[in-house]
Amino acid sequence: MKVARLAGLMFIAVLAVSLAAASTASAKSYLFTSGSVGATFKGTSLAGVLAEGANKIRCASDTNSGTIANVHLLGPFDITFTGCESTSDGGTEFCSIHSENVSTAGVILTFTVHALLGVVLPSELPGLLVLPTSGKKFVTLSTNKCTTALTTVSGSVAGLLFESQIGHGITESLVNFIPNDITKIDTLNGLVEPELEAFGLPATLETLEHIEWFREIEVT
């Protein structure tokens, strides 16, 4: 009798854990329509800031381009940031900075990345999760007078799509990257908690990305 009661309690405990895990995912999903697959795009941004405490990297803009690979994936593509400067004192002094893989002052070129379409939780709004296609590194930055330590930017970052862009044909999109705004995003690859790291510590990205689609696409 005691064994049966114990087995019943164990079953209830396992069921409760399973239900709790399931509740963290979303029943909702956002996908590119099959007719959108293959569409090409060009992305440009407003000025942006990567920040970790007093350490900051600010860039005037970025550019990128690629293709909708399938119903939930953009890319692969590289991102080129221009007009980039760094500071380690919160902004009293900025110095021009570039990535280790280029020699042009003020230019940061990422390793190859892609973006997964997903559901931001708990709001269930659409979002894009950007992450490297291989490993965790986005880019390694050079040193300068203002930032004397070599730093690698790694992890993943998510931006919010505007809900008004869903459910009808569009030729442009806006993706809003707000510091600490998205803590969970559910994708076809699973639930992800975006974590961006720079200077060896958790970091944030703030910018607004404009995507131009070279033919009409739709997210449903």
| pLDDT tens per residue across span 89-101 | 988 999 999 999 9
Mean per-residue pLDDT, 103-118: 98
The structure's pTM equals 0.87
Alpha helices in 63-209 (DSSP H): none
pLDDT of residue 20: 43
The two structure tokens encoding residue 124: 């269930």
pLDDT tier for residue 121 given thresholds of 50, 70 and 90: very high
Cα separation, 40 vs 144, whole angstroms: 37
Own/partner contacts of 96-103, CB < 8 Å, gap of 24 or more, are 96/144, 97/57, 97/141, 97/142, 97/144, 97/146, 97/147, 98/141, 98/142, 99/139, 99/140, 99/141, 99/142, 100/139, 100/140, 100/141, 100/142, 100/150, 101/139, 101/140
The string of pLDDT tens digits covering residues 157-190 is 999 999 999 999 999 999 999 999 999 999 999 9
